[in-house]
Structure 1
Amino acid sequence: MTMAAEKTQPGAARCPADSTQDIIARDKVAAPGWVRSESYAFLGDGDVSTDRYIDPDYAKGEFERLWTRTWQFACREEHIPNVGDYSVYDVGPYSFIVTRVGENDIRAYFNACLHRGTKLRPSGTEGSAAEFKCPFHGWSWNLDGSNKNILCAWDFPHADREKFRLPEARVQVLGGFVWVNMDPDAPSLEDYLGPEALAHIKAWRLEHRYIHVHVTKSFPANWKLTMEAFMEAYHVLETHPQVAPSNADANSQYDVYGDHVNRFISPLGVCSPHLGGQYSEQDILDQFTVGDSSMLGEGRPKVGDGTARQAMADMFRARFSQATNSDLSAVSDSEILDCFSYTVFPNTFLFPGISLPMVYRFRPDPRDHRRCIYEVMFLRPVPKDGVRPSPAEPVVLTDEQSFTEADGMDPGFGRILDQDTDNLFAQQEGLEASAKHGLTLGNYQEIRVRHFERAVDKYMALPPKKPCLHR
């Protein structure tokens, strides 16, 4: 620890190089207010217990206390554009048929027949239906959840069809995302997110994007451990050394909002402070574009009298405008270039920037607390003609496959995801072998991990709450 760090208050120490806000302030096209804001809070420095990652009873408690009370991204509106369209969302042992009942009416039915419990639709499926019929005994329900038919109704005088409506989870739509919550007593999605984070999400207008690549893969690591691998840039120098010359890793900014949202901003086009003085502005630009012929045009771009960051912003703006048939002239350099990562507790990451316009979703494996399902969805702006393309079908990778094998995946980014997930295998095994029963976190660079685990603790301190009938 440096002498400067010793004199600061806990959580006040920062990388001595330019801050994220210093870097963004020099951009040619200025950033909006949501980019220029900061919201850090010191949340303590005690170790985080490792039981939450390795104890199967802890995972059981999460299904009873956490997943039944939180807002979760179930599907995009473009998955269910027409009345009768549905998408099945599964999380752990729970399953929902998310369906469009009317133009502005989306519902999420618990995916189970009220006769003997058979799933009405297979896990992970999408389609269109006029009814939801049980494949076992033929009981059926209308789109609005009302009971349509009980086969041999004469044998069920005790089953009041008016009371045999499909139970519903709560549903809200924000930013083109359909969110569900099993708890009838939970706060609204707006209150859950809080005013500042809500204002950010609304400013992105993500309802005007669509999923053009969707990749899913199962991992032999706990869902929380997997999520936390993507919550900080502290690992970049060791795990992704190839990107450090053009990634301001230690300069990244970290923010927390209420109980359920946090973010980082990681600037691109600026050399890592760990490599200070080793690279010229042209070196930084060359490093970023090496091996990518789509960026080169008739020759490798030149910095000239400017900076690598500005050259990259100009190049990306032109490239993405053409690729998406969109006008990005008014979009800030920071939104064009930088990595903005927002975690919406418990299992969604939103990346609203233009260079990395993505969504991550993580779900626990209900049968093995050491495994989880990780999804990457790339978003594109809806074309200027307003015609929204259909969302991409998921590409499912096996454990052995590289992310680079997924159709539509940028090879360079696929390698980065492979590097991240290689660490996870070793981390899960290491935690189970360790004599130390806690994670020691940095006060600033790993604040998102601490903030996330505080939210986990909040829900795990509550009594079990099973899904119940509410309409």
Structure 2
Amino acid sequence: MAQTLSEEAYRKPDNPTTQDILHRDGRPVHPVFEVEAPKFLGDEDIDFARYTSREFMEREFTHLWPRVWQWACREEHIPEPGDYYLYEIGRKSVIVLRDNEDRIRAYVNSCLHRGTKLRSGHREGSTAQLSCPFHGWTWSLEGELTKVPCAWDAPHIRDRDFRLPELKVGLWGGFVFINFDRDAPPLEEYIDPLPEHFLNFDMENRFVEIHIEKELFCNWKAAKEAFIENYHTQTTHPELLAAAYDEPTQYDILGKHVSRFLNAFGVSSPHLDKPLTERELLDTMLVGDRDKLVKASAGEDGETARTIMARTLRAALGEAYGNDLSRFTDTEIIDVSQYGLFPNMIIYPQFTLPVAYRFRPIGRDPDRSLFELMMLRQVPDDGPRPEPAEPVRLKEDESFSKVPGFDRTLAHVFDQDTDNVRAQQEGFYASEKGAQTLLNYQEVRVRYLEQTVDEYLAG
């Protein structure tokens, strides 16, 4: 059972907390970033079989994936009537489209005649109707059966009984979600409190600047769990310690399906023997926009690196992407606020790293997964919405630096993250212990994810 942690249980003596850092900033902190929700979820080991067992994965496909809200695409992927996007999970395939009445629908991608996929191959496209490539049975964008070749030979077929099976669809922040469970709770209830926390970020007015797909040799849960704790930073990303306040990262369990961490930038890691000066901090803080932005200039006497960098990025990002960012606080500009939505989505709303991740099994193999990254930039205040970027697919051994336009420093960080997961997956099989032992606070989101999986598997 979840227990609220006392401050002594998650605060290292003599280290300021993330909240301490945020409240030193020149601008007041938005209330959603003042929320603290630490939980103790137990300290039992977690069995490796849940990452390697085909039987466990089959249980996920039976009891988890059919019952959860899943991010399928962005609304901008299907802006006009007839535009469609294919979403697949395991053996399930879904056509997400915009119909002639501008309504977004999701249909099971299987012909009601003899089962052939109505759409396959390229995931995106546009069509006036859905026609089976095998025998030509055809449905309207509204799901109505409109054509059966040689209909004289099918007097037993009633059009009203042959509507395409339709899934539940929910919209939030420009994201399109689907759910196979027709009795599922509304999306708004499932994702609570995300809408409140993202209210200031106008996620509807984002566009996909970069879309990367990376094939990984690891279980989909292990892939996500590699990103939801900062404990690994001191070993995996030592170059970030200069300006990333990693050990005091704040971890919150915000709801049944939502968790978060807050990581302050512009403050040296406690793992360093000697913290950097404010000037040295400034020279290290342009991760993610190094190629687009100029170096920050020195500020007024007494100003911190955080204040100077926030002001610089507020102006530089606003100019680079055509946005007025004056209303955003320092933490909203420079820090890493990462929200996880169960089961397989991560969203960063802030402007230096505005990304969303998705993690899915590849087929029904417990050892293979697909990691997707979308860079979601603000739509310019003036001018047309840019077209969403086409996905770039990377094999397991290919570097993120191969992706056109992707920041080189950021690519190196993602290479470091994804290089770890094969060794971990192989270690699951090699282990005699057979289970992992987690830290109580810094790895609570890993335990939270696995406990939520178990809740769904239990029915």
Pairwise TM-score range, normalised by the shorter structure:
over 0.9
> Structure 1: how far apart are the matches of 2:443 and 2:17?
16
Any idea what the Cα deviations from partners look like across 1:169-227, whole Å, max 9, x if unmatched? 10011111111000012111111123x33321344320011111101111111000000
Matched residue, 1:469: none
Q: Secondary structure at the match of 2:167?
A: strand
Any idea what the Cα deviations from partners look like across 1:311-341, whole Å, max 9, x if unmatched? 2111211110011100011111101001111
Matched residue, 2:246: 249
Structure 1 segment 14-163 matched on structure 2, within 5 A: 14-16=11-13, 17-102=15-100, 104-123=102-121, 125-163=123-161
State yes or no: 1:301 paired with 2:309.
no
The 1:179–1:11 alpha-carbon spacing in structure 2 relative to 1, beyond 3 Å, is: farther
> Structure 2: how far apart are the matches of 1:295 and 1:302?
15
Paired residues, number: 452
The 1:364–1:61 alpha-carbon spacing in structure 2 relative to 1, beyond 3 Å, is: same
> Structure 2 residue aligned with 1:340, among 332, 337, 340?
337
The 1:423–1:303 alpha-carbon spacing in structure 2 relative to 1, beyond 3 Å, is: farther
Letter aligned with residue 368 of structure 1: D
Q: Secondary structure at the match of 1:415?
A: helix
Following TM superposition, where does structure 1 have runs of at least 4 consecutive aligned residues deviating by more than 6 angstroms? 8-11
Question: Runs of 5+ in structure 1 lacking a partner?
Answer: 1-7, 463-471
Letter aligned with residue 81 of structure 2: V
> Structure 2 residue aligned with 1:423, among 420, 424, 428?
420
Alpha-carbon RMSD: 1.8
Matched residue, 2:166: 168
Checking the alignment, whether the CA contact within 8 Å between 1:281 and 1:303 is kept in structure 2 is: no
> Structure 2: how far apart are the matches of 1:356 and 1:187?
31
> Structure 1: how far apart are the matches of 2:350 and 2:391?
22
The 1:295–1:201 alpha-carbon spacing in structure 2 relative to 1, beyond 3 Å, is: closer
TM-score for the superposition, normalised by structure 2: 0.95
Q: Which shifted more, 32-41 or 106-115?
A: 32-41
Matched residue, 2:389: 392
Letter aligned with residue 397 of structure 2: E
Q: Secondary structure at the match of 1:227?
A: helix
Question: Runs of 5+ in structure 2 lacking a partner?
Answer: none
Checking the alignment, whether the CA contact within 8 Å between 1:14 and 1:444 is kept in structure 2 is: no
Percentage of pairs with the same residue: 46
Displacement of 1:28 in angstroms is 1.6
Any idea what the Cα deviations from partners look like across 1:54-113, whole Å, max 9, x if unmatched? 111111111111000000010111111111111111111111110111555110000111
Q: Secondary structure at the match of 1:230?
A: coil
Q: Which shifted more, 115-124 or 438-447?
A: 115-124
> Structure 1: how far apart are the matches of 2:417 and 2:286?
22
Displacement of 1:308 in angstroms is 1.5
Displacement of 1:439 in angstroms is 1.4
Letter aligned with residue 147 of structure 1: L
Matched residue, 2:429: 432
Q: Secondary structure at the match of 2:159?
A: coil
Structure 1 segment 221-232 matched on structure 2, within 5 A: 221-232=218-229
Checking the alignment, whether the CA contact within 8 Å between 1:53 and 1:224 is kept in structure 2 is: yes
Structure 1 segment 322-361 matched on structure 2, within 5 A: 322-361=319-358
Q: Secondary structure at the match of 2:266?
A: coil
Checking the alignment, whether the CA contact within 8 Å between 2:269 and 2:275 is kept in structure 1 is: no
The 1:293–1:344 alpha-carbon spacing in structure 2 relative to 1, beyond 3 Å, is: closer
> Structure 2: how far apart are the matches of 1:94 and 1:119?
11
Displacement of 1:15 in angstroms is 2.7
Letter aligned with residue 249 of structure 2: S
State yes or no: 1:455 paired with 2:452.
yes
Displacement of 1:366 in angstroms is 1.6
> Structure 1: how far apart are the matches of 2:286 and 2:374?
23
Letter aligned with residue 85 of structure 1: D
The 1:458–1:11 alpha-carbon spacing in structure 2 relative to 1, beyond 3 Å, is: farther
Matched residue, 1:467: none
The 1:11–1:106 alpha-carbon spacing in structure 2 relative to 1, beyond 3 Å, is: farther
Any idea what the Cα deviations from partners look like across 1:287-324, whole Å, max 9, x if unmatched? 33599464435xx6335522121221112111100111
Displacement of 1:10 in angstroms is 10
> Structure 1: how far apart are the matches of 2:89 and 2:383?
33
> Structure 1: how far apart are the matches of 2:447 and 2:81?
42
The 1:460–1:123 alpha-carbon spacing in structure 2 relative to 1, beyond 3 Å, is: farther
Structure 1 segment 182-221 matched on structure 2, within 5 A: 182-194=180-192, 196-221=193-218
> Structure 2: how far apart are the matches of 1:9 and 1:175?
34
TM-score for the superposition, normalised by structure 1: 0.92
Displacement of 1:278 in angstroms is 3.6
> Structure 2: how far apart are the matches of 1:301 and 1:451?
42
Matched residue, 1:261: 258
Q: Which shifted more, 238-247 or 304-313?
A: 304-313
Q: Which shifted more, 269-278 or 172-181?
A: 269-278
Letter aligned with residue 154 of structure 2: F
Displacement of 1:277 in angstroms is 2.9
Letter aligned with residue 105 of structure 1: R
Matched residue, 2:236: 239
Displacement of 1:261 in angstroms is 0.7
Checking the alignment, whether the CA contact within 8 Å between 1:10 and 1:443 is kept in structure 2 is: no
